[in-house]
Amino acid sequence: MFQKAKSHRVPWLSGLLAWAGILAGPIQATTFEELAAKAAAAREADRIPEAIDLYGQALELRPAWADGWWGLGTLYYDTDQYSYGRQAFTEFVKLEEQSAPGWGFLGLCEFETGAYEPAREHMERSLGSGSGLTTELRQVLQFHYALALTRAGLYDRARRLFGPLMRRGIKDPALIAGIGLNVLALPMLPAEVPVDRKELVAHAGTTAYSWMGGDLAKAETGLRELLTAYPNAPGVHYFYATFLAASHPDEAMAEFQRELETNPQSAEARAMIALLLLGNSQVSPAMPYAVKAFKDLPGSPLTLYAYGAALSAAGDLRQAIEHLETAARLDPSNLDDHIALAGAYARAGRHTEARRERQASIDLARESLSSDRF
């Protein structure tokens, strides 16, 4: 379901296609208008190589023809020629900077060619525009954007995109795998999962699906089965600990510690231990965990937040604000970051910024209540 978004017959090309059906004929095309008509007619007839060639000829005559770059880009996308599609959509968005579909297809082509950082930027720009996207294209973009965020270790941001897809009843295996990687805190794509981890990732994804859907009993059963089957697999104890964190923090602490025993490189587990200790006002014990987590994974919003929160609790407000600001910039929809920033700003006497962050916190809280995020 998520492998393709339909790109043919977008509304603003329909006039051109109809015109092409009338004007296209057997004569040799020599003008831009004739080439454009023949390109549209060839596309309508699914003569794809011919259409690509004709679009190319027409664009040589008129490089500022936005519809031509769109037509060429979507033909390349539909035929899995993503590198060429990326080039065509790059030209298209130069001419149509406000086109959400254009930025979206550019991001999808970049994703398929392994250019994940610009893909994230351009898919985010497309999804953030709020207009011009079909339901199908929006879902495909949300899915691929969530995968790219997970691959980058931006798990919380990705989870807020997986949730709405899951709640629409979608049970695509790739979605299940993406959710599984996310909750296990494994920064990779479903296609990159080693063969010997595929069942683990699928089991974790299915269990998380139940959790996100509100079936906590089924989720807990799945988690216990996961722990029995994969007691030493990276991410399993971390997943269980995050499940327990809100209702059973002491048990969660023990599971995060077990994660570190089986997976000593888990910066996420260290960050969560630091936050649980800070929640119990244990600042000194929390600091080494927060420092180590940040040093091991300095680009993670979670480790930045944990270290910033520890610094704030220790009274180092200048550094705390610096790290919390970076965390909020990387994950602007994270309520905890803004709440922590508001407190740090207030304690530092920066009352204007504190008011701004309090308002941001209120807005995010309202949004979470009125949206289908989880």
- What is the phi/psi pair of residue 8, to 5°? -75, 155
pLDDT at residue 26, as a whole number: 42
Torsion, CA 142, CA 143, CA 145, CA 149, rounded to 10: 130
The SS3 of residue 28 is coil
Of 66, 37, 73, 33, which Cα lies nearest the Cα of 52? 73
Rounded to the nearest 5 degrees, what angle is found at the Cα of 44, between the Cα atoms of 40 and 46?
A: 115
* Residue 187 token pair: 């920064």
Task: Report the C-alpha gap between 259 and 14 in whole angstroms.
Answer: 56
Burial of 118 (0-12, 13-18, 19+ CB in 10 A): middle
**DSSP one-letter code for 25:** -
Task: Report the C-alpha gap between 290 and 287 in whole angstroms.
Answer: 5
Architecture of domain 265-374: Alpha Horseshoe (1.25)
- Structural Rg of the chain based on CA atoms: 25
Task: Report the C-alpha gap between 347 and 313 in whole angstroms.
Answer: 11
Are the C-beta atoms of 75 and 56 separated by less than 8 Å? Answer: no
DSSP annotation string for 209-246: HHHHTT-HHHHHHHHHHHHHH-TTSTTHHHHHHHHHTT
Task: Report the C-alpha gap between 281 and 319 in whole angstroms.
Answer: 19
Are the C-beta atoms of 16 and 69 separated by less than 8 Å? Answer: no
Are the C-beta atoms of 249 and 275 separated by less than 8 Å? Answer: no
Q: Which residues in 348-373 are b (16+ Cβ under 10 Å) and which e?
A: eebeebbeebbebbeebeeeeeeeee
pLDDT at residue 221, as a whole number: 96
Rounded to the nearest 5 degrees, what angle is found at the Cα of 253, between the Cα atoms of 247 and 256?
A: 115
Q: Which positions of the chain have pLDDT values less than 70?
A: 1-29, 369-374
The listed CATH number (1.20.210.10, 1.10.730.10, 3.30.360.10, 1.25.40.10) that belongs to domain 1-134: 1.25.40.10
Domain with CATH 1.25.40.10 in the chain: 1-134, 265-374
pLDDT at residue 25, as a whole number: 41
Neighbours of 275 (CB within 10 A): 22
